[in-house]
Structure 1
Amino acid sequence: MYYFNISFSLLYTDIPFHFYKNHIERGIILNMSVTIKDIAREAGVSVSTVSKVINGSSSISEATIQRVQYIMKLHNYYPNQRARSFAQQATHNVVFISRLERDIAFTNPHMFEILCGVQKALGKKDYALTLCGVGAEDDEIAVMERIIAQKSADGIMIHGSAISTRLAELMNQTGFPHIVIGKPDFDSQLCWIDINNYLSGEIATKHLYDCGRRSLAFIAGHLADQISAHRLQGFRTTLVQKGLPVNPDFIRYTDSTKDGSFDVMKELLSAGSLPDGVVCENNSIALGVVKAIKAARLSIPDDIAVIGFDDYPFSRIVEPMLSVVNIDVYDMGLQAGSLLVRKIKNPMLQIQSYTTLPQLMVRASTAKE
């Protein structure tokens, strides 16, 4: 005789207790050799009914669905995914393509938070997620062509770091289900979602204005960095709207490193007139800017208020703690995963939208205690 416990939280209320009692008294053994025929026989239904339950058919009654699901759980039964995929002409796999290089966790930490959100959304729909790293543009084209030709995935998610005009042409020609994380910096028919970085720049600049700052600087990333460019555009627009001058000397570009940003900010501070507020395009830049302000023996926020973007990974370790315009990139990943599933089911669906509103988080670097 074999014994096992059934948690009451797993019992389906629409199934008579004697149904559970019969299985307990018979001492059913949990094993991996059970087949769909066994499940059908135990549940008193046909094999096709079990198959419909597995595939989420709406033509089966709720009571039957619960009974079949209970038997499957009881036997620890999982359908053969390969056979199921073959029957449905689907892989239930999504490939996430991104540039992957050494130290990527430090240079692009948000990518993994996005991945976690994507995986959560896909997992709810029984899709697996495969991460694929690419290098040169030719690699990206070859990888994409192979995935499409071999039908090794139902859909592709492309990180903005890996997109190109040639890749866009391939996706448009094939019509393969896809979502790009980040708005491409060229006109295209690609499906994409992005954060409104323009709005983020406006929010950061308006906050400094509301704090009484009137001489504002923007420390940007690379000149070609589109995220930085959009945040800078929001900064410029807000200055004009508030009737403040846009001082070219107060807009500086960096290599987005702490040391590079320190040198740029040091040069700005030694140039003559000082800003009383600084918008830093990312956390790494903020580290260098704060270090340069302290090295000049100036106080934050008394002399210069500082605000950055994203609450991860450095904003909480800066002293004083950094005010930021934060983006929930995990939620962005969730939305991207859900939208791609919709796109897979409806390849004609066109998606080009901004998601996840920025949120201002005020801390000591802009607010006097």
Structure 2
Amino acid sequence: MKVTIKDVASLSGVSKSTVSRVLSNDSRISETTKEKVNAAIERLNYKPNVIARSLAINKTKILGVIIPREAEDSFSNPFFIQAMKGMSICAGEKGYHIMYSFSEEEEGLIKSINDFSSNNMIDGICLLSTTVNDKCIKSLNDKNFPYVTIGRPENPKEGLWVDNDNFKAMEDVVLKLIEKGHKKIGFVGAKKDMNVSRDRLGGYLQGILVKGINIDRNIIKEGESFTIEEGYKLSKEVLKEGVTAIIGTDDLLALGILEAVNESGREISVVGFNNISIAKFQKPALSSVDINGSELGYSAIELLINKLEDKEIKENFKIVKTELIERESLR
């Protein structure tokens, strides 16, 4: 027969409400009472009803993660896997679970937010990207619903967020290439409405200008998606302009750039971002900026949980360090 909270209360000699408070680790319950109740729980092998407890304390211990693409596209980019790994590790350590939602269009993202936030399914939301005039962030702010973003929002003082210093990371890559003698450095990016794309383009321009080199808009190309195909297509255009190096704002773009460069037969430096696992197995091995995707995911969930549990938060954001991994493609 199933053991109930009434059985635990009877064996420990307390009320059902006291047992419930012990299960919730209520600080008002004495240590002596907690010991009696926990001993009864262990003796009866009582398993609390998670759903019932969630309803009682108005918390689900579930976090929603909204991924801004269809599942197939998301999982083709290893960054999402790295970030989700970090999120899952953090949630597991802190006794939370994660529910994922995949949406392609902005309307789909808004619908996922409305579904998650309006029916008490989850305690908080994590967004995996931010854009200019982000309607998802506006919706969450309007609802006053707890959230965190991986990516700097337009208003850095708004909400919780985790990111790299993408501006500086890109500027450092440009300066490294100039240090190696390159003066005509191509730029291949995608999704220019995303804040991360804007920051990396800004860092590229700053790196060029700080060394007194004129900006050549013909060698700056931005496409629709972070894919190998897009990197290949855009770099074909850039290669016509006589560049000696090309930076891709994502490793998938950089893999396409490498393919186009290899076809050209020219020795051109190529650098990507994300440092995905297959980068080192390319010919030549791809140099890439390690953005520590797993740490980004872990830190985002940690920040959100700290807010949900009313822990002191000194700053509403965290900047995760990056590192340029130099391999054969950085000539």
TM-score by length of 1: 0.75
Q: Does 1:291 align with 2:259?
A: yes
The 3 A distance-change label for structure 1 pair 73 and 208 is: farther
Residue 112 of structure 1 corresponds to 81
Residue 239 of structure 2 corresponds to 269
Q: Distance in 1 between matches of 2:104 and 2:165?
A: 27
Residue 365 of structure 1 corresponds to 329
1:1-369 matched pairs, under 5 angstroms? 33-36=2-5, 46=14, 51-58=20-27, 72=41, 76-101=45-70, 103-160=72-129, 165-185=134-154, 189-255=158-224, 256-271=226-241, 274-299=242-267, 304-346=268-310, 352-366=316-330
Q: Distance in 2 between matches of 1:347 and 1:60?
A: 21
Structure with max Cα Rg = 1
Q: Distance in 2 between matches of 1:39 and 1:211?
A: 72
Shift of 1:210: 3.5
The answer to whether the Cα contact below 8 Å between 2:130 and 2:194 also exists between their aligned partners in 1 is: no
One-letter identity of the residue aligned with 2:283 = E
One-letter identity of the residue aligned with 2:263 = A
The 3 A distance-change label for structure 1 pair 248 and 147 is: closer
The 3 A distance-change label for structure 1 pair 146 and 283 is: closer
Residues 138-197 of structure 1: per-residue CA shift (max 9 Å, x gap) = 443344334333222221222326996443333223211111222235788343322221
The 3 A distance-change label for structure 1 pair 162 and 100 is: farther
Q: Distance in 2 between matches of 1:354 and 1:103?
A: 29
The answer to whether the Cα contact below 8 Å between 1:213 and 1:276 also exists between their aligned partners in 2 is: yes
Q: Distance in 1 between matches of 2:28 and 2:80?
A: 40
Range 115-124 or range 317-326, more displaced: 115-124
Q: Which runs of 5+ in 2 are unaligned?
A: none
The answer to whether the Cα contact below 8 Å between 1:258 and 1:288 also exists between their aligned partners in 2 is: yes
Residue 29 of structure 1 corresponds to none
What fraction of aligned residue pairs are identical, expressed as a percent?
26
Q: Which runs of 5+ in 1 are unaligned?
A: 1-31
Q: Distance in 2 between matches of 1:169 and 1:179?
A: 13
Q: Distance in 1 between matches of 2:74 and 2:154?
A: 24
One-letter identity of the residue aligned with 1:298 = R
The 3 A distance-change label for structure 1 pair 366 and 72 is: farther
Range 61-70 or range 194-203, more displaced: 61-70
Across the aligned residues of Structure 1 and Structure 2, the Cα RMSD in angstroms comes to: 3.5
Shift of 1:266: 2.9
Q: Distance in 1 between matches of 2:31 and 2:329?
A: 56
The answer to whether the Cα contact below 8 Å between 1:177 and 1:347 also exists between their aligned partners in 2 is: no
The answer to whether the Cα contact below 8 Å between 1:281 and 1:308 also exists between their aligned partners in 2 is: yes
The answer to whether the Cα contact below 8 Å between 1:204 and 1:308 also exists between their aligned partners in 2 is: no
Three-state SS of the structure 2 residue aligned to 1:103 is helix
One-letter identity of the residue aligned with 1:262 = Y
Q: Distance in 1 between matches of 2:107 and 2:75?
A: 25
Shift of 1:267: 3.2
Range 318-327 or range 200-209, more displaced: 200-209
The 3 A distance-change label for structure 1 pair 257 and 156 is: closer
Three-state SS of the structure 2 residue aligned to 1:252 is strand
Three-state SS of the structure 1 residue aligned to 2:67 is strand
The answer to whether the Cα contact below 8 Å between 2:79 and 2:274 also exists between their aligned partners in 1 is: no
One-letter identity of the residue aligned with 1:126 = G
Range 254-263 or range 169-178, more displaced: 254-263
The 3 A distance-change label for structure 1 pair 144 and 293 is: closer
Q: Distance in 2 between matches of 1:131 and 1:153?
A: 11
The 3 A distance-change label for structure 1 pair 65 and 251 is: same
